[in-house]
Structure 1
Amino acid sequence: MMQGQVISFAEEQKRDRAERLAITTLGWLGREPSRIGWFLEESGIKPDFIRAAASTPGFLWGVLRFMSRNDALIATACADLAMDPACFAEALQVLDARSAEPVVAQKGKGRAGLPPRVLFR
């Protein structure tokens, strides 16, 4: 959101719900080593840097974007968390991070000298 921009209470509530969904989803990913490993692999974030990455613009949007790329993953998360799959698409729109800086692996370096993958816009 741009500085000085006024948002309605309803918009603020939508954003809060979308952020909570992304945080809950990240926690869900973290409960299963293979899932969080897949997320880290796709995002290019090193495990040691996930806390730092989590505070960057677009991170929560990136969590939802990761989920939205796999219907089976969303279905499993929704079953485990008792949520409607449509919540992900709605939250992704609310947290649209077009103006956010990308999150890349460790100061622009990918694994083993490969270029980083940018999951977050």
Structure 2
Amino acid sequence: MKTDMTTDQAQALAVQALTFLAQDNELLPRFLSLTGIQAGDIRTAAREPGFLAGVLQFYLAHEPTLLRFCEETGSNPAELQSALHALPGGDHSYDRQV
């Protein structure tokens, strides 16, 4: 998938998504449960390659969550998909390698 989004733009959107998630008492426990990350370890984990792509994957995997985020932030769902592919860990080209 081609994207016109820069890595910096993608990171900014992913950080916005992470901030939204961290402030939501319903979403945060679900995210922590699915990822196995402890709440106190999020800042450290956010520095790891692929973590921000994982945050976007969390939204993209559940349409109601994606739409809620987009509605409350004025984001376009397609932007999250583009951001995912612009981030380390968000390019699925490794699936086609054999």
Which of the five TM-score ranges fits, normalised by the shorter chain?
A: 0.7 to 0.9
Greater helix content: 2
Unaligned regions of 5+ residues in structure 2, if any?
Answer: 92-98
Q: CA deviation at 1:96?
A: 4.3
Q: Is 1:55 paired with 2:47?
A: yes
- The question of whether the paired residues in 1 share the 8 Å contact of 2:21 and 2:28 is answered with yes
Q: CA RMSD in A?
A: 1.8
When normalised by structure 1's length, the TM-score is 0.67
Distance 1:33 1:61 in 2: 21
The structure with higher relative contact order (CA 8 Å, sep 6+) is 2
TM (norm. structure 2) is: 0.82
The whole-number CA distance in structure 2 between the counterparts of 1:97 and 1:32 is: 25
Question: Counterpart amino acid of 1:32?
Answer: D
Choose 1 or 2 for highest CA Rg.
Answer: 1
> In structure 2, which of residues 31, 47, 52 is the aligned counterpart of residue 39 of structure 1?
31
**Where in structure 1 are there 5+ consecutive unaligned residues?**
1-10, 100-121
